[in-house]
Structure 1
Amino acid sequence: MSVHLRGIKPPVQPDTEPLLKAPPVPAYFSSYARAEWKRIVPTLIARRILCKADMAQVETFCCMAGLVRQIETERQAAGGVVDVKLFGVQNRAAQTARQIAATLGLDPVSRARIGTPGNGGDDSPNPLDF
């Protein structure tokens, strides 16, 4: 492997057969995972980067993000007491969600790599360019 390729992720391209319509929310999802699904799936479909093969990854992301929120909600309901075991589970779920989010283009760095609209989209000259 070339020294120049280390740590450089290939750019994400629109899929050749993207989903055009959001699949139904999986029945086994918690309310938190369901909310995450409804938040991210329309965006991924609009970007045309989501295909059937990606759905397991999307489901896992939603479950992990939902688990993080569920544990936090339960912690707050318990008066803010930190359960060390639940904190470990929450931490691992957050790490997994963060890794999957990067592969799906759900964080600022991966969105810039994808080149999605909203990264500037303004065609006017940049006054900071010399």
Structure 2
Amino acid sequence: MRGTKPELRTDPDAIDSLPPPAWMTPEAAQEWRRIMPILTERRILTDADLGSVENYCMAIGTVRQMEEHLQTHGHIIEDIEGRMKRNPAVGIQSDAMTRSRLLAAELGLTPVSRSRPAIREDADDDGDDPLDLS
């Protein structure tokens, strides 16, 4: 994405820390438990954002599962005809890494996204809200 992102504001309806959903893999749940305190402390996470958090955690869980598979079986495997080919887990892991990186940026979990304008603790209401129709 190009351009500057708007400053994030705290939300009075921000959610508090939640346990990971029961259906998550252990790897995804581990990531959930790692990032939820960070996200809830910022007071910007609402119910509408939980899908992105779930998707991020699932992507990280997939990256970890594929890494475990690759460490066991290698990046190159032999097909049924004896030819060497790339392990499909390499592509799965790469796709999950891309998804997790994009979602991490949206959630403010990367160094670059954190270096953008800080979350404003007090809303500096200068009356110039272009969406205010009153």
Question: Which TM bucket (shorter chain)?
Answer: 0.7 to 0.9
Q: Does 1:51 align with 2:54?
A: no
Identify the residue that residue 81 of structure 1 maps to in structure 2: 75
Q: Does 1:18 align with 2:21?
A: no
Structure 2 distance, partners of 1:30, 1:38, is: 12
Identify the residue that residue 35 of structure 1 maps to in structure 2: 30
Identify the residue that residue 111 of structure 1 maps to in structure 2: 114
Q: Compare the two structures and name the one with the higher strand fraction.
A: 2
Structure 1 distance, partners of 2:24, 2:98, is: 19
Alpha-carbon shift at residue 62 of structure 1 (Å): 0.2
Structure 1 distance, partners of 2:44, 2:117, is: 9
TM norm structure 1: 0.76
Aligned length: 109
| 8 Å contact from structure 1 (residues 12, 113) kept in 2 | no
Structure 1 distance, partners of 2:24, 2:110, is: 23
Structure 2 distance, partners of 1:40, 1:15, is: 18
Alpha-carbon shift at residue 14 of structure 1 (Å): 1.8
Q: Does 1:102 align with 2:96?
A: no
Alpha-carbon shift at residue 88 of structure 1 (Å): 1.1
> What does the per-residue CA deviation read over 1:68-127, in whole Å, with 9 as the maximum and x for residues that have no partner?
01100111122x3344322111111110110010010000111111526xxxxxxxxxxx
Structure 2 distance, partners of 1:40, 1:60, is: 13
Q: Kindly indicate whether structure 1 or structure 2 has the higher relative contact order, using CA contacts under 8 Å at least 6 residues apart.
A: 2
2:59 to 57, 64, 83: 64
Q: Compare the two structures and name the one with the higher helix fraction.
A: 1
| 8 Å contact from structure 1 (residues 33, 62) kept in 2 | yes
TM norm structure 2: 0.74
Structure 1 distance, partners of 2:91, 2:48, is: 30
Q: CA RMSD in A?
A: 1.6
Check 1:24–1:59 CA distance in 2 against 1; reply closer, same or farther (3 A cut): same
| 8 Å contact from structure 1 (residues 13, 114) kept in 2 | no
Structure 1 distance, partners of 2:28, 2:117, is: 25
